[in-house]
């Protein structure tokens, strides 16, 4: 009778361990899936930015520095994205968002550009992508948080350590990006 109880308890422990393992695997893959969702949108935006810059070049001949900042930031985002470097991506995203903000602010001084249907379409498309990326970043950070909490909780921590489940970095942004936009600064140089 004692052996039967022992075997039943061992079976319960093993089944519980399997459930924990499977839940940790699901969390890990959810983080990967949420990163892939961001990656797709970043790639789409990456492909749209040169089109926007090209349209702007036709009208904004003297604003080369603004256009170059956008393209440098685009390259930094692509590099961080390809390297799956989450902290670098946060910094590069900050620079790109600032560059796009400046580009759209400078575009206000060019009525012909603002009336260009291709520019308006690209501006709308990039704005939609930015909003989608923001939503996906929130989902990614939630997935990372769930994973990171679970791998530290008992008894999950025992399984997580045994099978090398690791923590993921949150996609965080600099204080510059979190700060309110200084409209006076954007339009003060015009």
- Structural domains in the chain, CATH included, are 2-188 (1.20.1440.20)
Dihedral angle of Cα 122, 119, 98, 144, to the nearest 10 degrees: -10
Res. 174: pLDDT tops 90: no
What is the three-class DSSP state of 79? Answer: helix
Distance, in Å, from the CA atom of 74 to the CA atom of 40, rounded to the nearest integer, reads 15
Q: Which pTM value belongs to this model?
A: 0.73
Q: What is the pLDDT of residue 173?
A: 66
User: Phi, psi (5° rounding) for residue 31?
Assistant: -65, -45
Q: Lowest mean pLDDT: which of 16-25, 40-49, 96-105, 177-186?
A: 177-186
The pLDDT > 70 percentage for the chain reads 89
Res. 89: pLDDT tops 60: yes
* Among 9-18, 64-73, 123-132, the range of highest mean pLDDT: 9-18
Residue recorded with tokens 């954007």: 186
The pLDDT > 90 percentage for the chain reads 37
65, 66, 60: which is closest to 113 by C-alpha? 60
Distance, in Å, from the CA atom of 42 to the CA atom of 93, rounded to the nearest integer, reads 10
**Residue with the larger pLDDT of the pair 187 and 167:** 167
Res. 55: pLDDT tops 70: yes
Q: What is the pLDDT of residue 50?
A: 87
What is the three-class DSSP state of 178? Answer: helix
Cα angle, residue 174 at apex, residues 94 and 56 outer, rounded to 5°: 15
Res. 112: pLDDT tops 60: yes
**Residue with the larger pLDDT of the pair 164 and 56:** 164
Distance, in Å, from the CA atom of 54 to the CA atom of 2, rounded to the nearest integer, reads 79
Q: Lowest mean pLDDT: which of 55-64, 87-96, 123-132, 162-171?
A: 55-64
């Amino acid at each position: 009778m004692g052996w039967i109880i022992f075997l039943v308890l061992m079976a319960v422990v093993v089944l519980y361990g399997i459930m924990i393992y499977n839940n940790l695997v699901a969390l890990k893959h959810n983080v990967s899936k949420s990163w892939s969702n961001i990656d797709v949108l970043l790639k789409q935006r990456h492909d749209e930015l040169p089109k926007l810059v090209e349209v702007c070049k036709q009208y904004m001949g003297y604003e080369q520095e603004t256009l170059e900042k956008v393209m440098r930031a685009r390259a930094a985002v692509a590099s961080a994205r390809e390297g799956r470097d989450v902290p670098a991506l946060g910094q590069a995203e900050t620079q790109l968002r600032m560059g796009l903000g400046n580009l759209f602010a400078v575009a206000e001084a060019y009525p012909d550009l603002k009336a260009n249907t291709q520019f308006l379409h690209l501006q709308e498309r990039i704005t939609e992508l930015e909003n989608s990326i923001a939503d996906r970043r929130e989902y990614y950070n939630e997935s990372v948080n769930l994973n990171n909490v679970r791998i530290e909780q008992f008894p999950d921590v025992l399984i997580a350590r045994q099978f090398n489940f690791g923590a993921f970095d949150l996609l965080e942004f600099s204080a510059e990006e979190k700060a309110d936009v200084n409209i006076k600064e954007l339009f003060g140089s015009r």
